Amino acid sequence: MQTRKQRGRPMAAAATALALAGVVLSPVTAQAEDGTELLTNPTFDGTLDPWWASEGVEFTEAPDGTLCGVVPGGGNQWDVIVGQGGVPVTAGDTFTISVTAAASPEASARVMVPDPETEWPPLYYADITLRADGQTFTEAFDIAADAESEVQLQLGGNAEDFELCLDEVSLLTGGEVEEYEPETGPRVRVNQVGYLPDGPKNATLVTDATSPVAWELRDSAGTAVASGETTPEGTDPSAGLNVHTVDFSGVDATGDGFVLAADGEESYPFEISATIYDQLRADSLGIYYTQRSGQEIVPVEVDGEQLKTEYARPAGHVSEAGGDDVNQGDVNVPCLPPEGAVDNSGNAQLGGDDHYGENGWACPEGYAIDASGGWYDAGDHGKYVVNSGISVYQLLSTYERSLYADTVSDGALGDSTLVIPERDNGVPDVLDEVRHNLDWMLSMQVDDGVEMTIDGEQYDAGGLAHHKLHDIAWTGMNLLPHEDPMPRYVHRPSTAATLNLAAAAAQGARLYADHDQAYADELLDAARRAWDAASAHPDIIAPDTNSLDPNPGGGPYNDSSVGDEFYWAAAQLFLTTGETEFADAVQSSPYHVGGAEGDIWRATGFDWGFTAAAARLDLATVPNALPGRDAVVDSVIEGADRHVATQQDEPFGHAYDPGDYDWGSNHQVINNAVIIATAYDLTGEAQYRDAALETFDYVLGRNALNNSYVKGYGTQFSQNMHNRWMASADRLPPHPDGMLAAGPNSAIQDPIAQEKLQGCAPQFCYIDEVDSWSTNEMTINWNAPLSWFASWADDVANAGGDVIADACTAELTVHSDWGSGFHATVRVTAGDAPLSGWTTSFDLGQATLANGWNAEFSTSGSQVTASDAGWNGTMAEGGSTEFGFVGSGAPPSSIPVACSAG
């Protein structure tokens, strides 16, 4: 464990060098009072020797004895180093390092003791800021291994040249290592963004008290607007804290600057407003633009103003492998070779034989694909079909919900709602954004006729999808995508990746049909090819490359069970086509309602590794003619009931109680809220709305750490998420607002978390540091449920409690059926309120729409959407109207019709 201290410390300099205030520091003797100095010439007395510096950086002595020189900007952090070797360190011993230096302008640096046995992690490192007025950084730390190492001061990667003056860099034996204690702020924990006027309003008080405690809600002027007593909850095992609940749901005051006071503490301020999620809807979707690969990120003009200027960067990975550019991909990317792969420095790396076994995979000679584009998956530069699949699904579902749900804000997900270059093109912006990644997924599909050897068998691999694309070895931090020098390879196809492509492309086919029919056709063709290929090769499993390769260069996304992916892909293909083949595959799946694996509602929700819930949710909400669909709807409500029960039992009010918290726990919390929110969409019952909203309070600050896990939202929020090209150096773009941090992870796999969080209660297993990749990474699949939930929450903000689940109802009657066609009418009836505009949707199964009357029609395969014709859109309470159509082919035995207002 270690503690880091950085404080101002004055230094003096001559006018010919960097101007610094203060006095010259006295040299540290070899036998200092507080330990033995392990470095030679730690105070740079007249010379750099025996220190060394990167080529091109020269230091001269200032009159005060400091050494000063100009450090060039740009490049990577490790491009400019001042270091000293021959430093012995011993496992279990404690050391104290200190750096006294100044920089003008201010600059970032990293002080490090490398591990000579591995490139990463080092034995010790700390990121520090060098300021113009001089400062001293001091830290005590433990060493985990014996080594003959060195001390490095890494100075590259800053936005511009800076002048550096070195006064002292010292490494002493001994020192007191303090325990890490997170800053948790006031003991009253609230949703730091706020609460809806008609929604639940609950908070958590951390206290030693065992009896009720008085609380008071104060407005921005400090005036009490409500008061009451807390409800003691006892010790929350997920936090290790004694807590009380504060329920102020009865408050009807609105505004900003509210604080909740209890037990001598005041919470962070918050709003009570119906608009608290307006911006989050857009921001949570907006992070995908900055994750784009293969495209320059440019400012976007909105109403005459240039926005997103701070995120601008060159396009990454638009070069050819083997070319002269720094990037070695993603144009004409080859397969990972069986053996003989090397990194950009010529160091040998493991190849396909090591990952897949001998004869596990062989591509045709000269095989390469253009896999530029897509989204970078997370904090690295890799791109993965499996994780892309679930991310595309949830973003498309965010949009698809707006077509069918009763509580929808008109136009909120339409064109010009996001700050992306494609705005104002007549297409909903979320579809524009998703298309960038869907196009990449299509590029990862093997062309028909390509012979590959997989697990010793040679066959036509056409239709299969490559599992992933990434660097041959891990790169360092502070690395913009266009600066990545590593060779890149595509990895072996997998059944899981192929089914992810089938599901995502099939869903996309029905949603893009109204905007680009040719593209929708291309997607559906790819989905069918993927389904056929996966069905023919159902057991191509992606291995856990992390366990096989000490430096794999990317994540494994290994998935040894693909039955849930078959269920999901079949569901999406059925919802788009209505075809019997896919209906049969859905109903025969063990993951379907009543199947051997049909109980799919897990404490940890759903994610890329378990997608059965993605199938079930869409089968329940997207209009379709699947036999037994009522049981599907009931099963979603049953799953929501389980999560509601958990939510009501949790002292912090969130629907998550798996015991230990998983990697990416925040997105699991949100996905459980998504299931509950879907039950609200299906029933209109306020209990589901309230449980979903209260669960989200945890994400925005009502938690043990008193931290909002969404960048830019709340008073204390995560802002140092693990990402190679954002925020970790001055020259890099910041993390965009709306980005979700991974969240507490009981396994604490990274060195920072292992160092500081040992023995943590689950909710405390998180640290907002850029190098804590196991607790603080960002990923596309973690922001995806945030986008769905933020959109849902903003839609229901003004809905109150129970809503009319059916603003209108519709009933379809087939009047005549002549085998090759039929005639039907649909009667639309207003609910318990006047209706101004209506939209219906239904699935004709194997049949298609030939023509119709008294409505505006659009189709996507067997899916039909019919909206009012204008003159028949307005109806009084209980009023009705009728439209009709002629279908081609035989009608299904039952055709349910969904109806919504607007």
CB 128, CB 153: distance < 8 Å: no
Q: Which residues of 276-312 are buried (b: 16+ CB within 10 A; e: fewer)?
A: bbbbbbbbbbbbbbbbbbbbebbebeeeeeeebeebe
DSSP state of 570: H
CA 831/CA 366 separation, integer angstroms: 64
Q: Where are the beta strands (DSSP E) in 658-787?
A: none
Contacts 24+ apart (CB under 8 A), 38-45: 38/87, 38/88, 38/89, 38/95, 38/171, 38/172, 38/173, 39/84, 39/87, 39/151, 39/169, 39/170, 39/171, 40/84, 42/168, 42/169, 42/170, 42/171, 43/167, 43/168, 44/166, 44/167, 44/168, 44/169
The phi, psi pair for 253, rounded to 5°, reads: -70, 150
Per the structure block, which two tokens stand in for 55? 């080529």
**C-alpha distances in Å from residue 815, one per residue of 28, 326, 619, 820:** 98, 68, 27, 14
Per the structure block, which two tokens stand in for 585? 């595959």
Partners of 884 in beta bridges: 825, 853
The catalytically annotated residue of 380, 549, 737, 768 is 768
The catalytically annotated residue of 380, 422, 607, 777 is 777
Select from 506, 389, 533, 508 the least CA-distant residue to 447. 533
777 carries an active-site annotation: yes
Select from 839, 827, 834 the least CA-distant residue to 880. 827
528 exposure class (CB count in 10 Å sphere: 0-12, 13-18, 19+): buried
Select from 773, 838, 767 the least CA-distant residue to 808. 838
CA 317/CA 489 separation, integer angstroms: 12
CA 551/CA 143 separation, integer angstroms: 22
563 exposure class (CB count in 10 Å sphere: 0-12, 13-18, 19+): middle
CB 664, CB 742: distance < 8 Å: yes
CA 632/CA 614 separation, integer angstroms: 12
Helix axes 385-404, 429-443, angle to 10 degrees: 150
Query: What one-letter code names the amino acid at 126?
Result: A
Q: Is the four-CA dihedral 101, 104, 107, 109 of positive or negative sign?
A: negative
Q: Which residues of 676-699 are buried (b: 16+ CB within 10 A; e: fewer)?
A: bbbbbbbbbbbbbbbbbbbbbbbb
602 exposure class (CB count in 10 Å sphere: 0-12, 13-18, 19+): middle
Kindly give, in sequence order, each residue whose CB lies less than 8 Å from that of residue 859, ignoring residues fewer than 6 positions away: 513, 848, 849, 865
Strands of the sheet containing 135-142, edge to edge, are 3-8, 135-142, 94-104, 162-173, 67-71, 60-61
Kindly give, in sequence order, each residue whose CB lies less than 8 Å from that of residue 630, ignoring residues fewer than 6 positions away: none
Per the structure block, which two tokens stand in for 896? 């349910």
92 exposure class (CB count in 10 Å sphere: 0-12, 13-18, 19+): exposed
The residues annotated as belonging to the active site are 768, 777
